[in-house]
Every structure is written in C-alpha cells, then in structure tokens.
Amino acid sequence: MTQITLKGNPVNTAGTLPENGSAASDFTLTKTDLSDVSLSDFKGSKLVLNIFPSIDTDICAMSVRKFNSEAASLDNTEILCVSLDLPFAHKRFCGAEGIENVHAVPDLRDRSFGDNYGVRMVDGPLKGLLSRAVVVIDEQGTVTYTQQVPEIGEEPDYEKALDAVKSI
C-alpha cells in the first residue's frame, strides 16, 4: 500500500508500483475501437504507461496532451494512457484534441490493472479509480522507471519519464 494525497488529504492505493528491474505484469486493456490489447502486443517496443484517474480532469488531460506531443520524438516507443474511463470518453477527448500519437486504453473489461500495478485507490473520494503514475517498460518487458505522483492534483515528472525511455 502506498499513501498519496488528494488536496493534502491522505489516500491509499491497493499496493505499490512494480520495482525497477522486475517483469511487468501482463494486462488486458481496451482500445477506443473496443478491441483489447495486452502487454504482449507491445513486445519489442519500449512502453510508457501514463496512468491517471479520469480523462475528464484538467491534469489528466494535460498529461495525455504532453505525452502525445513527445511521442513522435521517441524511437520504438508506445505510450498507453490508462484510466477507468469508458473507451467512448477517451475517443471523444482524443478526437477533439487531435491526439494521435498515444494509445487511449481504459481498463474496461478485466479491471485487474489497478491492483496488479498497485495504483487502484482504496479509499478517499476517488476510491476505485487509478492514481496518477508513470511506468516505463523496456523492449523485453522489464520495468525500468516508475513514479507514483504523491499528490493527485500534480502532474507527473515528464522529463524524468522521457529520460528513462531515452536511456533504454
């Protein structure tokens, strides 16, 4: 369990982010066309998991925009934007914002992603949603960088995450 905050108030997650050097947990996420993807679909590519509570909040939307703008400059890298929003909400947002360089992949069907990656909030007003975090995975499926953002209302450290990808 990790303790983070929402507007300064403590919130706990279901666990902790995976350790650097560990094998990334498999997942099944759903794309905006309602097809499913898993970790193995990205084998051979670097992977950034941009995890957040909801696409319909300013900071979450900002993180999707930022990673989208940086994605084109990253070699052999796929960026997955993960939340519990419906695929329709992701599709609406990405269409309206011209987001084309990242994959919007909600945890629609399986719902184990939040527990497997330790990011499901277990208490507080956002209980059940995913916390704000970033996980970088190399081409072999090994976790190389993680950040659990300590305050839900803050952005992730984009520079460190992007540097982690570039150093793989």
pLDDT digits (tens, 9 = 90+) for 50-60: 999 999 998 88
Sheet holding 77-82, edge to edge: 103-104, 77-82, 46-51, 133-137, 143-148
Q: Per 3-state DSSP, what percentage of the chain is helix, strand, and coil (rounded to 5)?
A: 25, 25, 50
pLDDT digits (tens, 9 = 90+) for 86-110: 999 999 999 999 999 999 999 999 8
168 vs 89: CA distance, rounded Å:
32
Ramachandran sector of residue 30 (left: φ over 0; alpha: ψ -120 to 50; beta: rest): beta
Give pTM, 2 decimals: 0.96
Q: Map out the domains of the chain as residue ranges.
A: 20-108+133-166
Fold of 20-108+133-166: Glutaredoxin (3.40.30)
Answer yes or no: 81 catalytic. no
Convert 75-111 to b/e letters by CB count within 10 Å (16 or more is b). eebbbbbbbbbebebbbbbbeeeebebbbbbbbbeee
Q: What single-letter DSSP state applies at residue 23?
A: B
What is the mean predicted confidence (pLDDT) over 51-80? 92
**Which distant-in-sequence residues (6+ apart) come within 8 Å of 44 by Cβ?**
76, 139
Q: Residues 60, 129, 149, 161: which is the catalytic one?
A: 60
pLDDT tier, 71 (very low <50, low <70, confident <90, very high otherwise): confident
